Amino acid sequence: MTRRPISLPSSQRLLSMPVPDPTPLTAPQRRAVAALLSVISPVADELGRLFASHGHELALVGGPVRDAFLGRSHSDLDLATDAPPERVLEITREWADASWPVGIAFGTVGMRKGDVHLEITTYRSEEYERTSRKPGVSYGRSLTEDLSRRDFTVNAMAARLPGHELVDPFGGLRDLHDRVLRTPGLAQDSFHDDPLRMLRAARFVAELGLTPLPEVRAAMAELAPRLEIVSRERIAAEFAKMLLADRPGGPSAGIDLLVETGVAEHFIPEVPRLRLEVDEHHRHKDVYRHSLTVLDQAIALEGRYGLQRDLRLRLAALLHDIGKPRTRSLLPDGRVAFHHHDSVGAKLARARLTELRFPNDVTADVAKLVGLHLRFHGFATGEWTDSAVRRYVTDAGPLLSRLHALTRADCTTRNRAKAIRLAGGYDELERRIAELAQREELASIRPDLDGHEIMKLLGIGPGPLVGRAYRHLLDLRLEHGPLGHERAAQELLRWARAEGLGDGDGPASAR
């Protein structure tokens, strides 16, 4: 989805204004907030008037309100109303270009107006079925009650429509200003009710750079085992969003929170296990820290290889060394080796991502990248033959640019000379690949007519003349690019005349 930028000139100033605890705001602050929120979307305002005319409340909630204060654009509009879903469908039937009951069982109606996507959810109450995998839903009576069951205070703000009055019962604006992540109620209760919120915490750390309050971290550590009740699909979806955060250093900070609180242990235990390992050189640089650095570096290299927020590369960077704990062995000279950790890691990555229900093609690509991440090191130590370079390219196939990024990122040595040598080695490999590709592309160029057509047009049989005609057409092709069949035929006959092969009128005269 394309994110349309919205200009929010006053957002910085607003965030730096002291905000009373929690609200109400002073009159000038209220006006500033309303002015800021009013630029979110004219479509939402229009809908707000429509709901009001039918005697119902409507408010922008969560992401769009939060992001307006941060000066970030937000593509989808989340809204809340007191109208039940059937009524929402009825009120908007004429107005929306399309609507669909996304999760009508949970009170959500999705719709589109022009290129704006909206999700309207009926107020929810705080009640949950504590044992179920998904939170149970019963409709709530007020906007404040609805906000109280949201995940974090920064997401528990609303702007009533069409007036843009800010509703912020839990001090979300203050927390946004302080850059902290806090739950509206007790963190333990919140994570107990919906353990997925622990992953959402990591996502907002990654995306927004918020710092969880100590009680939020403590509740994560305490309730981590409860993640077992959440479906693997929901976990994978939040985890992927976290990994795809575009804030530099964001994804690794999110992972670190999940690992340090013990949450990661319950859905991707291979990652926290990396902490136990020392590296090849027995220098006790832990493989876990190395993996986070490789992830940061891989993300920084995406642009260079024409990639954008690339899930496969990011997963491969995080998981590239997960075969190490399994393959660790002590050599007679006291050093540590991890023989075949690439192929073992590929298997582990495949198993883990399959278990998390990642799409098969994503899983296969990540496993392949993990399996190939050491291949370059054979190149660094000795000369590669053309066929070895060719095999590297064909084995990587469509993943070649990701493999380039991953392999370059997998260099975290503090030894500058070594880092320069490795980068230079990779430059050389890429140069060889380009050179080979160019040579082979040239070698695969054919003239516009093949030998058979040449013989037919000139009315001659096999012999050296066919070869000369062929080379002439190949020269023209290399010089001018593709000529097309007809022009090539004319050029061939012209060449034949110049060579004194008859008048060029056709097969018979050329003999």
Interacting residues toward ligand ATP by CB under 6 A: 62-63, 76, 78, 150-151, 155, 194, 196-197, 200
Locus of tokens 């985890």: 239
Alpha-carbon gap, residue 128 to 138, rounded angstroms: 8
Residue 107 contacts residue 121 (beta carbons within 8 Å): yes
Which among Mg ion, ligand ATP, none contacts residue 14 (Cβ within 5 to 8 A by kind)?
none
The β-bridge relationship of strands 180-181 and 58-61 is: unpaired
23 binds, among ligand ATP, Mg ion, none (CB under 5 to 8 A by kind): none
How far apart CA 319 and CA 373 sit, in angstroms, is 11
Q: What is the 3-state secondary structure (H, E, C) of 330-393?
A: ECCCCCEEECCHHHHHHHHHHHHHHHCCCCHHHHHHHHHHHHHCCCHHHHHHCCCCHHHHHHHH
| Contact present, 32 and 14 (Cβ < 8 Å) | yes
Element (H, E) at 45: helix 42-53
Near Mg ion in 70-89, by CB under 5 A? 76, 78
Report the residue from 22, 63, 136, 169 that binds Mg ion according to the rule CB under 5 A: 63
Nearer CB in complex with ligand ATP: 60/449: 60
Task: Please state, in angstroms and as integers, the Cα–Cα distance from residue 276 to each residue in 181, 273, 324, 373, 430, following that order.
Answer: 29, 6, 10, 21, 35
- In sequence order, what are the beta bridge partners of 116? 113
Q: How far is the CB of 64 from ligand ATP (least distance, A)?
A: 7
Strand, coil or helix: 23: coil
**CB of 296 vs ligand ATP, minimal distance in Å:** 22
Residue 250, C-beta contacts closer than 8 angstroms, at least 6 positions apart:
205, 206, 207, 209
Q: Nearest-CA neighbor of 219 among 160, 268, 152?
A: 152
CB of 220 to ligand ATP, least distance (A): 14
Residue among 78 and 256 whose Cβ is closer to Mg ion: 78
The residue number whose beta carbon is nearest to Mg ion equals: 63
- 63 or 169: whose CB is closer to Mg ion? 63
The site partner of 341 among Mg ion, ligand ATP, none (C-beta below 5 to 8 Å per kind) is: none
Q: How far is the CB of 237 from Mg ion (least distance, A)?
A: 13
- 196 interface partner picked from Mg ion, ligand ATP, none, CB below 5 to 8 A per type: ligand ATP
From the list 68-76, 82-90, 163-171, 280-288, the region that binds Mg ion by CB under 5 A is 68-76
Q: Using CB distances below 5 to 8 A depending on partner kind, what does residue 256 bind out of ligand ATP, Mg ion, none?
A: none
In whole angstroms, give the CA distance from residue 475 to residue 313.
Answer: 43
CB closer to ligand ATP out of 151 and 321: 151
- Nearby residues of 438 by Cβ (< 8 Å), 6 or more positions away: none
> Least distance (Å) from ligand ATP to the CB of residue 244?
10
Determine how many CB atoms are found less than 10 A away from the CB of residue 186: 11
Q: Does 103 bind Mg ion (CB under 5 A)?
A: no
Identify which of residues 213 and 466 has a Cβ nearer to ligand ATP in the complex.
213
Q: What is residue 180's three-state secondary structure?
A: strand
Judged by beta carbon, residue 184 or residue 325, the one nearer ligand ATP is 184
Joined tokens for residue 333 = 């000279």
Taking CB within 5 to 8 Å according to partner kind, which of ligand ATP, Mg ion, none is near residue 194? ligand ATP
Rank residues 99 and 108 by Cβ distance to Mg ion and give the closer one. Answer: 108
Q: Nearest distance from residue 264's CB to ligand ATP, in Å? A: 18
Nearer to Mg ion (CB atom), residue 109 or residue 454:
109
**Direct distance between the N- and C-terminal alpha carbons of the chain, in angstroms, rounded to an integer:** 65
Among residues 70, 193, 183, the alpha carbon closest in space to that of 125 is found at 193
The amino acid present at 314, given as its one-letter code, is R
Nearer to ligand ATP, 155 or 252 (CB): 155
- Pick between residue 198 and residue 348 the one whose CB is nearest to ligand ATP: 198
CA distance 321 to 342: 7
Closer of 141 and 487 to ligand ATP (Cβ) = 141
> Which residues sit at the interface with Mg ion, rule CB under 5 A?
63, 76, 78
